[in-house]
Chains A and B, each alone.
Chain A
Amino acid sequence: MYELTKEPIQVQAAIDQVLDRNCGAITTFIGTVRELTHGKKTIRLEYHAYESMAIKMLHKIGKEVEERWPGTTIAITHRLGVLDISDIAIVIAVSSPHRKAAYEGNEYAIERIKELVPIWKKEHWEDGTEWVGDQLEQQAYPKGGPTL
């Protein structure tokens, strides 16, 4: 259900993990490697993780989703290592009896991942490298830390 992998991500495998007879909807979020960020060109990316803690935090987020939207089931796979443009970095699949919970739970999960899970992205720009700390160019932790 919660996986970090150095191999290319198989979206169907995440879907298969959440599909069951009682669900009437499955949403998938697929995060891919973007070439241009505000006009700046990415050559490739590198993801590193504190793997044992990252898995633990993914479990925590999954539990939050399943508690806030009862009846949902979630699967999350995040890629690690070197990724090229258009490679899949993450897939989140959420199933639920009705579609609204699947949409909302999925969005909640990716926002929490960007706040809480110890995974770091190193950008290899065409003119150098940089560890990215705040992807949306917002303060990483406006409240001084993640909401636990």
Chain B
Amino acid sequence: MITVLFFAGLEEQIGQQRLALPFAGKAIFQLKAHIEEVYELENDTLQGMMVAVNEEFATNDTVLVEQDTVAFIPPVSGG
């Protein structure tokens, strides 16, 4: 299993902060497509969004392994 984290507006849209999903061996873009479908998000809500794997920015092609933590990072607005 992998852990998926949501923050900010996306957390409100999804309705939870954390999910556990059987996505080891699959790529980020597949995870994005799955979540868009299950949560009925508008097309491409996630495809362009930054993602971190284990707290480092990753790309859509990054392949996940067991125990990874994936975080969706909507455009940031700190400072």
Chain A residues in the interface with B (C-beta under 8 A): 31, 47-50, 52-54, 56, 78, 89-90, 110, 113-122, 131-135, 140-141, 144-146, 148
Interface range for B: 10 to 19
Number of A-B contacts (CB under 8 A): 79
Contact status A110-B79, CB under 8 Å = yes
Q: What are 13 A-B residue pairs whose CB atoms fall within 8 Å in the complex?
A: A49-B78, A50-B7, A50-B73, A78-B78, A78-B79, A116-B76, A119-B77, A120-B74, A121-B78, A131-B12, A133-B9, A145-B57, A146-B57
In the A-B complex, the 3 residue pairs with the smallest Cβ-Cβ separation, listed nearest first, are A119-B78, A140-B75, A133-B75
When A53-B52, A122-B8, A141-B50 are in contact, do A134 and B75 touch as well, CB less than 8 Å? yes
Q: Contact residues of B with A, CB < 8 Å?
A: 5, 7-9, 12, 48, 50, 52, 55, 57, 71, 73-79
